[in-house]
Amino acid sequence: MGSMKGKNTGRTLAGTRTGRSGRGKAGVAKGAVARTPFARPDWDEYFMDIAHVVARRGNCSRRRVAAVIVKDRRIVSTGYNGTPRGVRNCFEGGCARCAGSAPSGGDLGECVCSHAEENAITQAAYHGIALRGGALYCTLSPCLMCAKMIVNAGLVEVVYEKAYAFSETTRALLTEAGVRIRRLAR
């Protein structure tokens, strides 16, 4: 058998004959299915959607929050809110403040739960992953404590979906440190 190199066989991937060019009227191989456009999330939506899945792992009995840290469009760490490693889960009674009657935002000094941003940053540190230059996607805006951690970790952008206790002090700190802040509107 001779070599087929450089010869137009007129066959599609399925092996059927299509004629000399192998293409139909619209430049699509005959017998092939023409692709129609479909909805695809942009990068912000993609990472925020993943953050919502991560939030489902949260064990705080008050609310489920998540953070996803990204570098070069790759996820390098995730975190959700809940009690520290090795401590009984919040929803199992691990946090007396959350199990009690404290109002939302009240008695936070008594809460043993870690915030999602805090967990994402410490998980990266635990596994030796550098975060400098990365972006943090979070389902709720960061508090002042988490903003300080974001700055010190070298993150350069925060994208949040909903505002929660996002004070002017927090916003001013992030801005002064050169961290871009964006709210993802959906």
Report, as residue numbers or ranges, the catalytic residues: 117
* Residue 20 zone, left/alpha/beta (φ > 0; ψ -120 to 50; rest): alpha
Q: Around Cβ 104, how many Cβ atoms within 10 Å?
A: 9
Q: How many C-alpha atoms does 58 have within 13 Å on its Cβ side?
A: 26
The HSE-up count of residue 116 (CA atoms within 13 Å, CB side) is 28
Three-point CA angle 163, 51, 74, nearest 5°: 120
Distance CA 183, CA 137 (A): 10
Burial class (CB in 10 A: 0-12, 13-18, 19+), 75: middle
Neighbours of 158 (CB within 10 A): 23
